[in-house]
Amino acid sequence: MTFSAFPDTAIHSSKIWTTLITNAKYVPGVITLDYSLKKVGSNYPLVAMYTEQLDDESIRALTRRNIPIRKIHQLNPVESPELSADPRFADCWSKLYIFKLVEFNRVVELDSDMVVRQNMDELMEIPLGKEIAFGSTPACVCNPFGLQHYPKDWIPSNCSFTDYHEKKKQTVDPEDDYFDCKGPVAEMGLKKCNGGLIMIEPSLENYNRILDALQDPQKTARYQFPDQELLADVFEDHWLCLSYVYNSLKSFTACHKDIWDLEKIKNIHYIITPKPWNVKRGEYEDATGTFVHWWDVDDERRVGERERGIRDEYSTA
């Protein structure tokens, strides 16, 4: 079966979640992300955007579970940065294709290494306004894993999440109807965003600005964190900071314990490696204590799939 043999799924919703998948390694993540959204009762579908890099069997695994698919063109800059220390970022440019999906009123892009714990459909309603290109959470710049290739100014004192509640009190109007959904303004940190969650109203004007930036080697060659750095650069001062609850990094358990509250957190993001599906319960010592939340949802998904007669490598124990 060829790549073109998989037609795009008809989507009967003006608002969607999306996730990008370019290789088979992330199929378990996409499947469990989709299940977690359904488990918390989201009213909107997760659409898997895939490129020609994805193999046929991976696409079948998605469609077998009624996950809508959308074929997209791979986006690449005219000159890529040096990413040997972080090859996982090489395909991230294609996430920015969401800006072209103008047939939808709202798109919220989620990384596939996430698990949704509470309904967060309000992200489909938060107003952006004409001057705001996207909403996202700030990047955590604490570098808790001590990665040597990260920028030298990525330190806790420059992080938007340090003294989070005080910063939010200073910069978010308590009378704002969406106070609980918003975080401290970008100026409270290094003005960097985390590309794991991007909330937009698709716009060809903004998409073309992104394409222009991809053709500018003076920009792209210096982006160390491709998609998110491009967004923060091209749309500087024109993006909305969202609350940490929508994109809570597993590393928060080490560097931001004051905001790690599972009663409030709606979405956990399993940054770096390993991913929860790469290791097994009882065999991996998870210093963050977060993997159990993904494993529990994944186990529940597998049981349900077997009961429904779905049997493949992603449904077996």
- In tens, the pLDDT along 148-167 reads 888 999 999 999 999 999 99
What does DSSP assign to residue 224? S
Q: Which domains does the chain have, with CATH numbers?
A: 15-308 (3.90.550.10)
* Residue pLDDT, tens place only, 86-116: 556 668 899 999 999 999 999 999 999 999 9
How many angstroms separate the CA atoms of 268 and 118, rounded? 10
What is the number of other CB atoms lying within 10 angstroms of the CB of residue 317?
Answer: 6
Which DSSP letter does residue 182 get?
A: B
Cα(285)–Cα(14) distance, rounded to whole angstroms? Answer: 42
Name the one residue in this structure whose structure tokens are 């009213």: 43
- The DSSP H or E segment spanning 43 is none
Inter-helix orientation angle 56-64/27-39, to 10°: 10
Sheet containing 69-71: which strands, arranged edge to edge?
Answer: 69-71, 46-50, 15-21, 106-110, 193-200, 134-138, 239-241
User: Whole-prediction pTM value?
Assistant: 0.95
What's the CA gap between 96 and 77, in Å, rounded?
A: 12
Give the H/E segment covering residue 312. Answer: none
DSSP state letter for 58: H
Q: Which of 91-100, 141-150, 169-178, 281-290 bottoms out in mean pLDDT, i.e. has the lowest?
A: 141-150
